[in-house]
Amino acid sequence: MTTDKPDWIRLQKALAIEAEKGFADLLGKQYRFSEFLTLTFGKFPIDLPGIERRRWQELAAEFANYPNLELEDRQHLVAETRRYLYQVQQVVEGEGEAGKAREAEQQGSWRAKENSSGYSPLSKSPIVGEVSRNLAPNLDQKLSDLPEIGIRKSANLARLGLYTVRDLLYYYPRDHIDYARQVNIQELVAGETVTIVATVKRCNCFTTPKNNKLTILEVLLRDQTGQLKISRFFAGTRYSSRAWQESFKRRYPNGSIVAACGLVKESKYGLTLEDPELEVLGHAGDTIESLIIGRIVPIYPLTEGVGADLVRQAVIAALPATVHLKDPLPSGLRDKYNLMELKEAIHNIHFPPDSDSLQAARRRLVFDEFFYLQLGLLQRQQKAKETQTSAILAPKGQLLEKFSEILPFKLTNAQQRVINEILNDLQKPAPMNRLVQGDVGSGKTVVAVIAILAALQSGYQAALMAPTEVLAEQHYRKLVSWFNLLHLPVELLTGSTKIAKRRQIHAQLETGELPLLVGTHALIQDPVNFMRLGLVVIDEQHRFGVEQRARLQQKGEQPHVLTMTATPIPRTLALTIHGDLDVSQIDELPPGRQTIQTTVLINQQRSHAYELIRREIAQGRQTYVVLPLVEESEKLDLRSAVEEHKKLQESIFPEFQVGLLHGRMSSAEKDEAITKFRDNETQILVSTTVVEVGVDVPNATVMLIENAERFGLSQLHQLRGRVGRGAAKSYCLLLSSSKSSDAQQRLRVLEQSQDGFFISEMDMRFRGPGQVLGTRQSGIPDFTLASLVEDEEVLILARQAAEKVIEIDPTLERWYLMKEELKYRYERLMGGAILT
Q: How long a stretch of residues is the chain?
A: 836
**Listed residue (350, 263, 255) closest to 298, CA to CA:** 350
What is the DSSP code (8-state) at residue 664?
T
Asked whether 445 and 419 are in contact (CB, 8 A), the reply is: no
pLDDT at 684: 93
Rounded CA-CA distance 834/581 in Å is 12
pLDDT at 629: 59
Amino acid identity, position 640 = S
Q: Show me where the domains of the chain are located.
A: 2-169, 175-299, 398-427+443-565, 596-753
pLDDT at 345: 95
DSSP letter string over 334-392? HHHTT---HHHHHHHHHS-SSHHHHHHHHHHHHHHHHHHHHHHHHHHHHHHHH---S--
What pTM, to 2 d.p., does this model score?
A: 0.62
Asked whether 239 and 215 are in contact (CB, 8 A), the reply is: yes
Rounded CA-CA distance 331/336 in Å is 9
pLDDT at 408: 82
- The pairing of strands 175-178 and 533-539 is unpaired
pLDDT at 681: 93
Q: Which residues contact 321 (CB under 8 A, 6 or more apart)?
A: 136, 137, 138, 139, 141, 165, 166, 169
pLDDT at 776: 40
**Listed residue (568, 563, 567) closest to 580, CA to CA:** 563
Percent helix, strand, coil in the chain, to 5, is 45, 20, 35
pLDDT at 579: 65
Rounded CA-CA distance 136/318 in Å is 8
In this structure, which topology does domain 398-427+443-565 adopt according to CATH? Rossmann fold (3.40.50)
CATH class as words, domain 175-299? mainly beta
Q: 461 φ, ψ to 5°? A: -100, 165
Rounded CA-CA distance 800/378 in Å is 11
Rounded CA-CA distance 769/763 in Å is 8
In this structure, which topology does domain 596-753 adopt according to CATH? Rossmann fold (3.40.50)
pLDDT digits (tens, 9 = 90+) for 10-51: 888 888 788 777 788 888 777 788 888 888 887 777 667 666
pLDDT at 110: 26
pLDDT at 262: 86
pLDDT at 827: 64
Asked whether 198 and 279 are in contact (CB, 8 A), the reply is: no
Asked whether 173 and 355 are in contact (CB, 8 A), the reply is: no
Amino acid identity, position 50 = G
Rounded CA-CA distance 268/693 in Å is 56
One fold for both 398-427+443-565 and 596-753?
yes
pLDDT at 113: 29
Asked whether 691 and 641 are in contact (CB, 8 A), the reply is: no
Low-confidence ranges of the chain (pLDDT < 70): 1-6, 46-47, 49-51, 90-135, 285-287, 289-291, 387-390, 526, 541-553, 567-568, 570-580, 592, 629-639, 691-694, 767-782, 826-836
Rounded CA-CA distance 629/493 in Å is 27
pLDDT digits (tens, 9 = 90+) for 461-515: 999 988 888 788 888 988 998 999 999 999 999 888 888 999 999 999 999 999 9
